Structure 1
């Protein structure tokens, strides 16, 4: 990409030098020739310095991919999404753990005020009436190991696992969405720095050109060839140009600070970024229909909402299964310290069925609430799908506009340079007013600004279109 400060400085200096040489021959030969030599020397110095800076810049410049690699590794929002993704996977593992047997170890100590005993009352043995017969000790230890496992849960466990997996997929989609949005935001900040750098170069060139013109008008005024009005108008234009320079420099500092925040660097650090020399359009996916299909298949928002709806439906099915029979098996080994028992320890096994026949509508209402949430998410998914279709169309149209602008701006820059050169020559020859030169300077400034904006708008629209299609 042509850098304004190089081309403008070189072209303007040569133009000023050529015209000054003609005017020297008419007015002040010795003095003007000396100034022309200084201008040529200044032009050569600017070219050498700029070329050296450009070479150093290209060696150490940071690419957009490098910016993504650094910024995504340290971004806290993305890290939080990744931790949520880990949490969702743990939830899946927890739901699957319900399939496995549970082993429990139980132990305890019991102390009673009196030794438990039963009173005997046998009519055939009246002499035993009122006699107490102990059947347990007043203090005893007990313990055992219990193993329990589900046999049939009417789909409660399987539905719970399906719900956890769907929620984990939704969390993964959200993490991918966060990554894509961050890449677009980082790219916008990256391009903002490049745009601001070129704005500074354009305004610097504009200030330099107006300063040279102000010097020429000042000399013409001193020798009676220019009116006071021309000098004042040029000085006002120069003051305005310097204000534009200050604004451009401040905008550059702000853009660098925003970019450095992504990179975790000091805000005031000067960044060296690779410029966009030849931005390319999206040729393989320029068809709008292909882009819409890609968005429907790859946009992470749609996948997240779809999986959330699926998770709610599975949770509702798991809750409804609570109304159906739940069958499990349990067994173990236990010991109860009791000297009155013939055997105080042993193995045991059993089958347990639980069937909640009536709970006041609790399970039914809970399942209905989850089903309503699933339907609400489905409606949100449909609305998001429509908004994404609009976003893809808008991004596609913006990219088409940016491509069309690129075909015009370079020609406009050439015409603005030529118009300025002609305006200066006409003014020095007394054929045009000073305002024509100032207008030409402003037009050239606008032409270079439009060219840079077209280049960066095109690159930004390309990235936005990739994001809209779900491929960023």
Structure 2
């Protein structure tokens, strides 16, 4: 029981731990991508290995000290015979047999200093240095590509979030419009065809909003993978307030491809390394000269001493090896030719890539300007419609439609800004050099127009304009809700004067709810429910003057957010 309790506590503790959350801006994203990218770490490890190859190539010029040890077992010992009288009469007097040992052990120290290798040592050092420089340029290029991809993932994730938010708000607007259409349908002012059309549009909008949520999740997961973050990490992206764009120039200037791009420099170093490999292969055709010194310690016997030293020079020259060296030279030359062609094609490809990206950047800048103007237009239109709505000249549906148009235009405006940032990231990577001299920075237009603070002035201000009071209508006694059984009798029991219809319902509970709202908003006015042909109509009745009734319409719209109207049957 105690084990079960402890285990339950541990499970509760670990499940109660909060999920890690991170707030990232663009610079944070770029920094994390460079710090965590495994390809960059692999390139740095290869750069370190190439540096050790350079160090090893330098040490080939220094003398080499080797130790040799051997143990030999012979089937018979070595033997030397000295004949009698070999050195003179009677010396030696008879044949002398000298024997060694069947077992022979020796240990030697050999010091060798290369003097001439046909230039092979120098070419090997130069080749390793070129390859080390190539690895450095490749690491730099990989860093540029990682920053480019991280910026692309960040901006595409922002686009996915903007699209999801835009579609969610549009979906909310369509749901509100469908609700209003259903009320108008119940009141008899809309057709069934209009209701079905609105329902079908809402269904497609819900499907599109669901697709946008899936795209946002995929974009966030890709960004996490690029930054090597855990899947459970909650990301909160800070949207930039400024963006970069090309400067407005009419002189027809264009970017030119630079030869200082990292991968171009890496290819150049690779070609130079291939040249060194060709010269190194040719060096094998020449002789090799070395100085050596040797000290040997071995078994002492009748034939050998226990200590032997020697020194001298060695010349080695391969005269015939079946064309192996020539084949190696041809292979190195073919590799150099391949890399030369590859470098030329890569240079031309860079020029075409830069021209294409520069054209796309300028095009995206024009689209940003177009959508900015569209956003300003929709913002102005929404401001006008809202003012008309407050004055009773527009409906709530008009306001919702203008808000949806503004959100769509603003989403396209922000999306084009982010796409412009993606193209600029690719252009920087294509050039391999900064673009600050060709770009300018601008502030991103906000969705709603920011109110400007009043400028300080010493002039005397005019007196404030008095507020226009609401039209006063003589109050009447609030009649209780009475729903007679006979609609004909209700039609004859009409309150004298003019009336404003607020809504019509088939359900009396809905009519009573609206009557309660209207009664709370207009306590001085008479709010009645009239039943005609099975429909319960909510009316503000007993208004003596028709002009007073018209003046009350914008007040109703502001307080109840519904559109009232004067029935045509009123006198």
Common topology (TM > 0.5): yes
Contact 1:170–1:304 at 8 Å: present in 2 too? yes
Equivalent position of 2:322 in the other structure = 360
Distance 1:282 1:416, change over 3 A: closer
Q: CA deviation at 1:115?
A: 2.7
Quote the offset at 1:325 in angstroms.
Answer: 1.9
The C-alpha deviation readout for 1:74-106, integer Å capped at 9, x for no partner, is 222222222221222222222222111111122
Q: Which range moved further: 128-137 or 110-119? A: 128-137
Contact 1:120–1:129 (8 Å) recurs in 2: no
The answer for the alignment partner of 1:63 in structure 2 is 25
Q: 1:461 to 1:255 in 2, by over 3 A?
A: same
- Higher relative helix content: 1
Given that 1:326 and 1:353 are in contact with CA atoms closer than 8 Å, whether structure 2 keeps it comes out as yes
Is 1:407 aligned with 2:369? yes
The corresponding residue for 1:311 is 273
1:374 and 2:336 are equivalent in the alignment: yes
**1:263 counterpart = 2:227:** yes
Gaps in structure 2 of 5+ consecutive residues: 1-20, 435-571
1:375-390 alignment runs, 5 A limit: 375-390=337-352
Equivalent position to 2:201, from 237, 240, 250: 237
- 1: CA distance between counterparts of 2:428 and 2:370? 25
Q: Report the counterpart of residue 43 of structure 1 in structure 2.
A: none
Query: Does the aligned pair in 1 maintain the 2:148–2:426 contact within 8 Å?
Result: yes
**What displacement does 1:298 show?**
2.5
Of residues 333, 337, 343 in structure 1, which corresponds to 2:295? 333
Confirm or deny: 8 A CA contact 1:137 1:338 kept in the other structure.
Answer: no
8 Å contact from structure 2 (residues 173, 400) kept in 1? no
The question of 1:172 aligning with 2:132 is answered no
Return closer, same or farther for 1:68/1:435 CA change in 2, 3 Å cut-off: closer
Kept in 1, the 8 Å contact 2:144–2:429? The answer is yes
Query: Equivalent residue for 1:217?
Result: 181
Match of 1:300 among 240, 262, 271: 262
CA contact (8 A) 1:136 1:340 kept: yes
Counterpart Cα distance in 1 of 2:78 and 2:43: 61
Q: Secondary structure at the match of 2:320?
A: coil
Greater C-alpha radius of gyration: 2
- How far apart, CA to CA, are the structure 1 residues paired with 2:196 and 2:218? 33
CA contact (8 A) 1:281 1:403 kept: yes
Q: Quick check: which one's strand share is greater?
A: 2
Shift of 1:237: 1.8
Q: Secondary structure at the match of 1:280?
A: strand
CA contact (8 A) 2:299 2:305 kept: no
C-alpha distance in 1, partners of 2:294/2:71? 19
Residues 121-179 of structure 1 show CA distances to partners (whole Å, capped at 9, x for unaligned) of 56978999995622533333322211001012221100011111111111222222221
Mapping of residues 86-165 of structure 1, within 5 Å: 86-120=48-82, 131=95, 133-165=97-129
Match of 1:73 in 2: 35
* Greater relative contact order (Cα < 8 A, sep 6+): 1
Of 453, 457, 460 in structure 1, the residue corresponding to residue 419 of structure 2 is 457
* Structure 1 residue 242, shift from structure 2 partner: 1.6
TM-aligned CA distance change 1:84 to 1:187, over 3 Å: same
Kindly indicate whether the alpha-carbon contact (under 8 Å) linking 1:171 and 1:304 is maintained by their aligned counterparts in 2. yes
Identify the residue that residue 355 of structure 2 maps to in structure 1: 393
- 1:196 CA displacement: 0.9
When normalised by structure 2's length, the TM-score is: 0.65
CA contact (8 A) 2:166 2:408 kept: no
**Structure 1 counterpart SS, 2:259:** helix
Do the aligned partners of 2:290 and 2:315 also contact (CA within 8 Å) in 1?
A: yes
Q: CA deviation at 1:467?
A: 0.9
Return the alpha-carbon distance in structure 2 between the equivalents of residues 318 and 324 of structure 1.
11
* CA distance, structure 2, for counterparts of residue 286 and residue 309 of structure 1: 41
1:378-435 deviations in Å (ceiling 9; x for gaps):
10000000111011111111111111112111221243456678899999xxx99x99
Deviation at 1:270, TM superposition (A): 2.7
Which residue in the other structure is 2:191 paired with? 227
d(CA) in 2 for partners of 1:269, 1:399: 34
Give the 3-state SS of the residue equivalent to 2:258 in structure 1.
helix
Query: Does the CA-based 8 Å contact 1:203-1:445 persist in structure 2?
Result: no
Residues 119 and 130 in structure 1, CA contact (< 8 A), matched pair in contact too: no
Aligned to 1:321: 283
CA shift for structure 1 position 228: 2.4
Change (3 A) 1:262 1:285: farther
Aligned counterpart for 1:349 among listed residues 292, 295, 311: 311
TM-score (norm 1): 0.77
